[in-house]
Structure 1
Amino acid sequence: MIARYLPPLLSGTLFGGGLALGGMTNPARVRGFLDIFGNWDPTLAFVMGGAVIVMAIAWRIQARLAHPLFAPKFALPTRTDLTPKLIGGSALFGIGWGVAGLCPGPAVAALVIEPASAATFVAAMIAGMGIVRLIEKD
């Protein structure tokens, strides 16, 4: 039973460690990236670039595999349409990211590093996800 949760735990720990090492748990660093007309900080661009390289390699490997190592099949998105819900959610995410300087991954990682400052964001994020589940119809 515990072996089932080991791969996601290890990959989540690696992801969180990478975010912390890249400085993405520091809201000031993220806001510095978004401040293109002020004191611009390019760190986030390097983190994103590294992620794009890793994913490009992962997509090439995935195309050659019959199924993932720890699951019977791949869970890949099949929809390609842009819905008002997707656009609205993306806009809300971007506004929250710009205001708070955190998004879900770095916020959870920041709970380990600076729990007091990240807890408010994480609590609001969990409350928002709960509200969406209550009002979502489809």
Structure 2
Amino acid sequence: MRAMDALPLPRPDVTALLARGVTRMLLDHGLTPILEVPLANGRRADVMALTPHGEIWIVETKSCLADYACDEKWPDYLEYCDRFFFGVTETFPRDHIPEEVGLIVADGFGGAILRESVVRPLVAARRKAVTLLFARLAAQRLSLL
């Protein structure tokens, strides 16, 4: 975790490294993640991932306590995923993260799930809509490469 903590980096750089580490960790766990997913309620999920069984995870990355403290929108993500996690740096004060959500600690190279998320299964219609959104967004991004 030294990459983010060795030198004081600007918050956008810490956020980018955190998203990269979360993405790598999700891939290591067999999930397929994509970044910056716009949701139907106008919110944007930092990281969304699909499990091999079709479960949808959202990870909201928080680069520092100030970033977390000004964010009151995270409950709006719960209706779009089966599991919700915060992804934070090693130095983030973890006692601020609510117990009912998952906790991932990451750096630019990977991460670890320190606390599993409560499972809130999506209803079938919402699951289909979010899965189609995920698929269309991933295909659109691939076609731009």
Q: If the TM-score is normalised by the length of the shorter chain, which range does it land in?
A: under 0.3
TM-score by length of 2: 0.24
TM-score by length of 1: 0.25
Q: Report 1 or 2 for greater relative contact order, CA contacts < 8 Å, sequence distance ≥ 6.
A: 1
More strand by share: 2
